[in-house]
Structure 1
Amino acid sequence: MSVLIPCIIAGGAGTRLWPVSRETMPKPFMRLPDGQSLLQKTFSRASALPDVERILTVTNREVYFRTQDEYRQLNSAGMALDFILEPFGRNTAPAIAAAALHCANLYGESALLLILPADHLISDLPAFERAVAHARNLAQQGWLTTFGLVPSHAETGFGYIEKGQALDAQGYKVQRFVEKPDAATAQHYLEGGQHLWNAGMFCMRVDAILAELDRHVPDLLASVHHCLQRSPSKQGEGELQLELDPQTFEKVPDISIDYAVMETSSQVAVLPADLGWSDIGCWQAVRGLSEADQNGNQCNGETVLHDVSNCYIDSPRRLVGAVGLDNLIIIDTPDALLIADAARSQEVKVIAQQLKHQGHDAYRLHRTVNRPWGMYTVLEEGPRFKIKRIVVRPQASLSLQMHHHRSEHWIVVNGMACVTNGEDEFLLDTNESTFIKPGRVHRLTNPGVIDLVMIEVQSGEYMGEDDIVRFTDIYGRAPESASS
């Protein structure tokens, strides 16, 4: 049997789950009630499969370090990790093409790719393992095998796959892919038993998917191959990292694998599967993960309710009082509050889209922002000032940088800091501080074994995150990047 390489595709912003899911902290990083993220659950499923020795992840360059952190918490066995880092999204066809070319180059064209979206939830793990085993057999025969999920209800939010002729005891040739249907058509599909939900999970031989890409979208395959030839890679400590070249990747067509290949290829098989699956695509789906009280409410955080029914309230940091409400979704975060009719939770994406159009930070960032070296939280800001709480991990370091328009005052509240301030380098202990003038080169490093926590007070005419000139950076963000 050919080597199996799970490929986790971690893209998309999850706009229907705003304000928790945002561009720099998208849906795969959302914590579920058990404390794990969707990404972690996907990694656990993939790494538990028999004979898997490495996992490939295709994700955005901006969330690479957060992805590493998520995996590190689970990867005690030292699973080998490959990363393909996109400078920006180009949909699933380029991502899968890059994964296939990468595997063909390093692991052979007979390798099997198991494509797994990072933001899906699967509760029946034994059924998942059995389905993968059967999909491997079909893939070995050259079929591009997709997992068709047995529908539990008439769903208008998913695409469908119509079964064709039987290939073996379980698999079928795909008759056709169907776009999201109206309610009557979805009910007809449910009753007919010939249609399955399209979950975007696939198992395929590398040579088979490359051949079909070359047959149906040769320009896309050629452009991805050209991009990979110009993309730097580095390897070490059980990890390989390939960073896609932005200039050539920008020229790659933006198209899904369904449109590019699956809907036109004659080599596509579907394997019906009942996996306890959910794409956690909206807040109504998230609320289904929690038990309701006697009034149909699901609450996360402290609440005082009077005559409230069928509501989902997620407010882990602030007390919520509610009177006379029914069938609402209330999501409270430190900088944004969502109140929505539960029956219209799919429309939350409109709010996220409007924020993006306005250039509002609440589309991209939370008040707490993760960085490779740790995190920062904006505590307060106003005209000509901003106050941050900064946490730097042990042995981590911010870039050597300079600001044109702001000064910074650093006060250490926990741990010890090694500070570069102009030509001076010195240690700051708890309750000590330093002042950095505009235009002065500076760096902050944590030389200790515990987290360094400090308060940063910025003042000046402009405090935007793009007022950063980087000189050196241990995370490879200089000089192209312009955010802290």
Structure 2
Amino acid sequence: MLVPVILSGGAGTRLWPVSREGHPKPFIRLADGQSLFQKTALRARKVADTLMVVTNREYYFRSRDDLAAQQLDARYLLEPFGRNTAPAILLAALAAEDAWGSDACLLVLPADHLIEGEEAFREAVNKAEALARDGFLVTFGVMPTHAHTGYGYIQQGEALGEGYRVQAFREKPEQAVADRYLAEGGYLWNSGMFCFTAGHILSAFRTLQPALFEKAEACHRASPEAKALSGAVEIDACHFEACEDISIDYALFEQAANVAVVPARFSWSDIGAWDAMAALGQPDASANRFEGEVINVDSHGCYVRAEDRLVAAVGVEDLVIVDTPDALLVARKDKVQAVKSVVAELKARKHDAYRLHATVHRPWGTYTVLEEGRQYKIKRIVVKQGASLSLQMHHHRSEHWIVVSGMARIVNGETETLLRPNESTYIAAGHQHRLENPGVLPLVMIEVQSGEYLGEDDIVRFADNYGRQ
């Protein structure tokens, strides 16, 4: 049995301001409306009948909604926080062995890569699976198209029929070294995709990383299925924290003797920065690439992404301009790798823009901050059909709710009411309350908060359908 395991959750800091901690890179929408996560899942289901997703607990409902939109489902392992790829893959292998036995073949795929060439992908997977069943730990090496310095490299060794034994892994090189790799041949880009049986990868962990294996096995035993999350497994936080934060490359692949590589001839990109995102679009006569409503006057070689409003570019060259409702990025194309430094500065300032968009996704829907000032905040709230917020209370703020469209069932203290469009209600500070959409259409409301403190942490939950504290 072949089981694709999708690793989803990397923040993608070089793709800020679209990618943020609360809306990471796998959920970025491309021009066709699909997210990178959706594209990965659809690709995986074309080679297998089941999916396993390892992601952060905070991304579970967003992941489930993305798959449901494509008529897909998956088993989920939910991490309480990030611990790199080795613990994630080890726990996935333990879960797969329990579910399908040690002969189950795992195909590990990052959720945020873009691959084109369905037949070439299927061919590479078939070759990798054959090697995996012969006892190899298999990685996929992408045939390099140029001397890229942003990727690690794999040096091919002796031929193995369906692939090659790995002679060495090479770190991201300087330009001169990358030029030499391309000229010499026999070097592949390290894609970060893997294939192996559950039994063989677990045996490798037992031998090469016994301490990590022991801690992960204890974590696996302590992580029962959570009925509140439709059978998804919430990984036990205490045991998971004890697992070493280490990548699968360092933990196993650079040490094991039975490592093979399959050269992959499909088009591949990890969309690591805005220059890679820009390359996906079709250029105009001046080598510009535009998304959204853009006016260009004598600009050349620019990428402009306008999400929410008109952007005009006048007489500029080789710029990346990414405009979102609450943040604007302007960067030279040759400096886009440094965008991660912006995120680091935002974190240092404790600025919400590193973490959240103006529109924030929740299990029940979304809210958008429309305006905020001293002692007031205005939001647009959209609640999905049949969904409800938690039964909750705020100490420091009161709320006015106005229904714009749809129907709202509201619990306010001991009172329950139904509100229709153009009707409103008031929630006093200290009152237990709950908002529910009992209708078949999305509920859209305007919420006006007022009070001395309006932070999102001023919330006491008494009951919640989504397992939140």
TM-score (norm 1): 0.95
CA distance in 2, matches of 1:248, 1:145: 28
CA distance in 1, matches of 2:228, 2:311: 48
Which residue among 97, 102, 116 is the counterpart of 1:123?
A: 116
1:274-300 CA-partner distances (Å, limit 9, x unpaired): 110011111100111111111111111
Percent of pairs with identical residues = 55
CA distance in 1, matches of 2:429, 2:73: 44
Aligned residue number for residue 14 of structure 2: 16
CA distance in 1, matches of 2:73, 2:403: 38
Aligned pair 1:215/2:184, yes or no?
A: no
CA distance in 2, matches of 1:240, 1:426: 33
CA distance in 2, matches of 1:132, 1:462: 54
Aligned residue number for residue 79 of structure 2: 86
Instruction: Report the 3-state secondary structure (helix = DSSP H, G, I; strand = E; otherwise coil) of the residue aligned with 1:152.
Output: coil
CA distance in 2, matches of 1:422, 1:139: 60
Aligned residue number for residue 276 of structure 1: 267
CA distance in 1, matches of 2:128, 2:293: 46
Instruction: Report the 3-state secondary structure (helix = DSSP H, G, I; strand = E; otherwise coil) of the residue aligned with 1:269.
Output: strand
Instruction: Report the 3-state secondary structure (helix = DSSP H, G, I; strand = E; otherwise coil) of the residue aligned with 1:381.
Output: strand
Which residue among 145, 162, 175 is the counterpart of 1:183?
A: 175
Q: How does 1:280-295 map to 2 (within 5 A)?
A: 280-295=271-286
- Range that drifts further, 316-325 or 20-29: 316-325
Instruction: Report the 3-state secondary structure (helix = DSSP H, G, I; strand = E; otherwise coil) of the residue aligned with 1:71.
Output: helix
Aligned pair 1:63/2:59, yes or no?
A: yes
CA distance in 2, matches of 1:144, 1:340: 40
CA distance in 2, matches of 1:113, 1:156: 29
Structure 2: which amino acid aligns with 1:184? A
Aligned residue number for residue 131 of structure 2: 138
CA distance in 1, matches of 2:293, 2:404: 29
Measured after TM superposition, the shift of residue 324 of structure 1 is 1.8
The answer (yes or no) to whether the contact 1:412–1:432 under 8 Å persists in 2 is yes
Which residue among 142, 145, 161 is the counterpart of 2:154?
A: 161
Measured after TM superposition, the shift of residue 249 of structure 1 is 1.0
Instruction: Report the 3-state secondary structure (helix = DSSP H, G, I; strand = E; otherwise coil) of the residue aligned with 1:137.
Output: helix
1:98-142 CA-partner distances (Å, limit 9, x unpaired): 000001111101100000000000011110001101111000001
Measured after TM superposition, the shift of residue 11 of structure 1 is 2.2
Aligned residue number for residue 439 of structure 1: 430
Aligned pair 1:389/2:373, yes or no?
A: no
CA distance in 2, matches of 1:257, 1:331: 33
Q: How does 1:253-264 map to 2 (within 5 A)?
A: 253-264=244-255
Which residue among 139, 145, 160 is the counterpart of 1:152?
A: 145
Aligned residue number for residue 456 of structure 2: 465
Structure 2: which amino acid aligns with 1:7? V
Aligned residue number for residue 310 of structure 1: 301
CA distance in 2, matches of 1:7, 1:323: 46
The answer (yes or no) to whether the contact 2:292–2:306 under 8 Å persists in 1 is yes
Aligned residue number for residue 6 of structure 1: 4
Instruction: Report the 3-state secondary structure (helix = DSSP H, G, I; strand = E; otherwise coil) of the residue aligned with 2:367.
Output: strand
Which residue among 27, 30, 38 is the counterpart of 1:29?
A: 27
Aligned pair 1:46/2:44, yes or no?
A: yes
1:158-211 CA-partner distances (Å, limit 9, x unpaired): 11111111111x411111111111001001101111111111101101010001
The answer (yes or no) to whether the contact 2:114–2:269 under 8 Å persists in 1 is yes
Aligned residue number for residue 103 of structure 1: 96
Aligned residue number for residue 197 of structure 2: 205
1:20-58 CA-partner distances (Å, limit 9, x unpaired): 000111111111111111101000000011xx2210000
Measured after TM superposition, the shift of residue 232 of structure 1 is 2.6
Measured after TM superposition, the shift of residue 306 of structure 1 is 2.1
The answer for unaligned runs of 5 or more in structure 2 is: none
CA distance in 1, matches of 2:227, 2:360: 27
The answer (yes or no) to whether the contact 1:81–1:240 under 8 Å persists in 2 is no
CA distance in 2, matches of 1:149, 1:109: 28
Aligned pair 1:300/2:300, yes or no?
A: no
Measured after TM superposition, the shift of residue 321 of structure 1 is 2.0
CA distance in 2, matches of 1:305, 1:200: 38
TM-score (norm 2): 0.98
CA distance in 2, matches of 1:30, 1:386: 27
CA distance in 2, matches of 1:369, 1:424: 29
Measured after TM superposition, the shift of residue 236 of structure 1 is 10
Aligned pair 1:454/2:445, yes or no?
A: yes
Aligned residue number for residue 341 of structure 1: 332
Aligned residue number for residue 344 of structure 2: 353
CA distance in 2, matches of 1:434, 1:451: 19
Aligned residue number for residue 482 of structure 1: none
Which residue among 400, 406, 414 is the counterpart of 2:397?
A: 406
The answer (yes or no) to whether the contact 1:100–1:210 under 8 Å persists in 2 is yes
Measured after TM superposition, the shift of residue 247 of structure 1 is 1.6
The answer (yes or no) to whether the contact 2:64–2:73 under 8 Å persists in 1 is no
Instruction: Report the 3-state secondary structure (helix = DSSP H, G, I; strand = E; otherwise coil) of the residue aligned with 2:173.
Output: coil
Measured after TM superposition, the shift of residue 303 of structure 1 is 2.3
The answer (yes or no) to whether the contact 1:53–1:80 under 8 Å persists in 2 is no
The answer (yes or no) to whether the contact 1:329–1:341 under 8 Å persists in 2 is yes
Structure 1: which amino acid aligns with 2:173? P
**CA spacing shift, 1:257–1:56, aligned 2, 3 Å:** same
Instruction: Report the 3-state secondary structure (helix = DSSP H, G, I; strand = E; otherwise coil) of the residue aligned with 2:378.
Output: strand
Measured after TM superposition, the shift of residue 74 of structure 1 is 1.0
Equivalenced residue count is 469
Structure 2: which amino acid aligns with 1:446? N
Measured after TM superposition, the shift of residue 235 of structure 1 is 6.3
Aligned residue number for residue 70 of structure 2: 74
Structure 2: which amino acid aligns with 1:358? R
CA distance in 2, matches of 1:235, 1:186: 50
Structure 2: which amino acid aligns with 1:297? N
CA distance in 1, matches of 2:289, 2:400: 43
Measured after TM superposition, the shift of residue 323 of structure 1 is 2.0
